[in-house]
Amino acid sequence: MQTEITQPGPLLMPDGKLAQVGWARQPLLDCNLEAARFYALQPLQRFRIKRWDYYAVFTPHKFFSATVADLGYAGNLFVYMMDFDTGELHEEGLVVPFGKGVILPRNSDAGNSSFKDNRLKETFTLLPDRRHLSVSWPAFHDGRGIEAEIDLHTQPGDESMNIVIPIGKKRFYYNRKINCMPASGWIRYGQETISLEPSTCIGSLDWGRGVWEYQSYWNWASSSGFLPDGRTIGLNLGCGFGDLSKAGENAFILDHRVHKLEQVKFDYVSGDYMKPWNFTSSDGRLNLVFTPSKERVAKTSLVVITSEVHQMFGRYQGTLVTDEGETIQIRDLIGFAEEHHARW
């Protein structure tokens, strides 16, 4: 049985234990990471706490993503751009020792994220009715360059998928996924400028904070798009780590309202990622086939941090059943699914 959090409060109690465990439709908990107690030598804790803001924008023909992250030992900044029609994909990242210059907010509903140096400027600004993304990387792709000024529009009352789960006895994961934010603005990549129209372009945020086991593994699947009748539809599916007895992060978001799902099975061939992926929920409300068309492989290898991601882009087909019993037909919904291994 899934436990829904409905009351605000702190994430952690004074002894470092989670105050509440479960899922919520809004970010109700204050992310008081300073209360964490998982190392006897507390000054070392900062090197194990992970924080990130990962934004993604879908257009009818392109995918754009920008991230500001602090992995404790190092800051990680990356940007990538993909063309759905040609399959062209280019990604670049920066690693900053000990997260120097990385600014990330305490909570997902207040404060800004940024990193700026003489190579890259990324600023994510939270405004009352939108999230503004500003990116400038002149040397990106051998001097081709990439810039973006994007507004992801929000409305009061929009729901998001929020989850708090324990990982072992003293570690935890606090995450917010916001799907289906209409996007306006522009992206300039080399000589091409892509104009974003809210009727066809849409964005999402993966906001994560927590402390993982040093060796971790997970699957994640996500999409934000439009149904033929104009309603927005988002997917957020995940598994692989933590105690999911009280809640998992599986849900779909229809017109900015969360429809919570029970556990979802990821049925795919690890190592042969281009084969179709099948997704089914234990409550029978989700049945999807994901057909990949492009693989993104991202590898990080530092002294104490290694990461390998196989992120597959493709299209979803199948059915979803709402809380009210309506069956939603999913046809050619662009999204991604991934396998991630990390030592961090």
- Please report the pLDDT score of residue 230 as a whole number: 95
Query: Is the per-residue pLDDT at 121 higher than 80?
Result: yes
Query: Is the per-residue pLDDT at 43 higher than 80?
Result: no
- Please report the pLDDT score of residue 301 as a whole number: 77
> How much of the chain is helix, strand and coil, in % rounded to 5?
5, 60, 35
Query: Is the per-residue pLDDT at 233 higher than 90?
Result: yes
The first and second tokens of residue 151, run together, are 């507004």
Domain assignment of residue 4, yes or no = no
> If you average pLDDT over residues 98-112, what whole number do you get?
96
Comparing 18-22, 172-176, 195-199, 210-214, the range with the smallest average pLDDT is: 210-214
Domain assignment of residue 328, yes or no = yes
Domain assignment of residue 93, yes or no = yes
Domain assignment of residue 153, yes or no = yes
Q: Which helix (H) or strand (E) holds 167?
A: strand 161-167
* CA separation for the pair 228, 215 (Å, rounded): 42
Domain assignment of residue 3, yes or no = no
- Please report the pLDDT score of residue 170 as a whole number: 85
> Where is mean pLDDT largest: 19-33, 296-310, 330-344?
19-33
pLDDT tens, residue by residue, 284-314: 999 999 999 999 998 877 767 788 999 999 9
Alpha helices (runs of H) in 21-173, residue ranges in sequence order:
140-143
Domain assignment of residue 48, yes or no = yes
Task: Give the count of domains, the chain.
Answer: 1
Length of the chain: 344
Query: Is the per-residue pLDDT at 242 higher than 90?
Result: no
Answer yes or no: are the C-beta atoms of 192 and 147 closer than 8 Å. Answer: no
- One-letter identity of residue 16: G
- Please report the pLDDT score of residue 47 as a whole number: 84
* 241 pLDDT tier (thresholds 50, 70, 90): confident
* 38 pLDDT tier (thresholds 50, 70, 90): confident
> If you average pLDDT over residues 264-292, what whole number do you get?
97
- Please report the pLDDT score of residue 44 as a whole number: 78
At a CB cut-off of 8 Å and minimum separation 6, what does 189 contact?
81, 141, 144, 145, 146
Predicted model pTM: 0.96
Q: What integer best gives the mean pLDDT of the chain?
A: 95
* CA separation for the pair 177, 23 (Å, rounded): 11
- Please report the pLDDT score of residue 69 as a whole number: 96
The range of the structural domain enclosing residue 236 comes to 9-343
Answer yes or no: are the C-beta atoms of 69 and 54 closer than 8 Å. Answer: yes
- Name the DSSP letter for residue 4: B
Domain assignment of residue 126, yes or no = yes
- Please report the pLDDT score of residue 247 as a whole number: 92
Domain assignment of residue 222, yes or no = yes
- Name the DSSP letter for residue 46: G
- Please report the pLDDT score of residue 305 as a whole number: 74
